[in-house]
Chains A and B, each alone.
Chain A
Amino acid sequence: MSQRDTIQEQYPYPPSPHPGGSYQGAYQEAPYQDADYPQAPYADDDYREAFYPERDEERPQQKPKRRSVDAWMAQKSTTLPRFKRRSIALFFLRLPAFVPWFFILRGWLSLNTKDVLTLSEADVLGTGGEAAFLIAVSITPLITLTGARWYAPLRRWYGIFFALIGISDGTTAAITTSFSGGVFGRLAGHTFLVTGFLIVLIAVPILLTANTPAQRKLGTYWKKLQKLTYLLWGMIALHLALLDGFHPFDGPQGDGDPVFHQRFYQILAISLPLVLLRLPPVKRWVTEKRAAGQQWKVWCAFAPMAALYVLAFAFILNEEIFTGLQVLRLNPPAN
Chain B
Amino acid sequence: MSALSGAQAPQRNITGILLIAMGSVVAAVLVILAVPYYAGSSARIASLYTNVAGPADRILAADIQAYAANRLRNLAAAKSDLSNEVQAETAFDNQLGTITFPPAPDPHADQLTTADAKRIKLIKLQLQVKSLRKLRALDSQVQAASAAVDAQVKIMRADLGLPAVSGGLY
Q: Give A contacts to B, CB under 8 Å.
A: 3, 252-260, 269, 272-273, 276, 279, 281-286, 288, 301-305, 307-308, 311, 322, 333-334
- 28 residue pairs bridging A and B, Cβ less than 8 Å apart: A3-B1, A252-B99, A253-B95, A256-B40, A256-B45, A256-B102, A258-B44, A260-B38, A269-B27, A272-B26, A276-B20, A279-B19, A281-B13, A281-B15, A282-B16, A282-B19, A284-B12, A284-B13, A285-B16, A286-B16, A288-B13, A302-B20, A302-B24, A307-B27, A307-B31, A311-B31, A322-B100, A334-B97
Q: Take A252-B48, A285-B20 as given contacts and tell me if A308 and B99 are in contact as well, using a CB distance cutoff of 8 Å.
A: no
Whole-angstrom distance between the Cβ of B18 and the nearest chain A Cβ: 8
Whole-angstrom distance between the Cβ of B38 and the nearest chain A Cβ: 7
Q: Take A260-B38, A272-B26, A307-B31 as given contacts and tell me if A254 and B21 are in contact as well, using a CB distance cutoff of 8 Å.
A: no
Whole-angstrom distance between the Cβ of A6 and the nearest chain B Cβ: 10
Q: Is there contact, CB below 8 Å, between B94 and A334?
A: yes
Decide yes or no whether B52 CB sits under 8 A from chain A.
yes
Decide yes or no whether B74 CB sits under 8 A from chain A.
no
Decide yes or no whether B28 CB sits under 8 A from chain A.
yes
Q: Is there contact, CB below 8 Å, between B38 and A257?
A: yes
Residues of A within 8 A of B95 (CB): 252-253
10 A-B pairs with the lowest CB-CB distances in the bound complex, closest first: A285-B16, A255-B100, A253-B98, A256-B41, A281-B16, A256-B44, A304-B28, A304-B27, A256-B45, A281-B15
Q: Is there contact, CB below 8 Å, between B19 and A301?
A: no
Chain B, 23-46, contact with A by CB distance < 8 Å: what is the 0/1 string? 111111011001001101111110
Whole-angstrom distance between the Cβ of B37 and the nearest chain A Cβ: 6
Q: Is there contact, CB below 8 Å, between A305 and B15?
A: no
Whole-angstrom distance between the Cβ of A218 and the nearest chain B Cβ: 32
Q: Is there contact, CB below 8 Å, between B13 and A276?
A: no
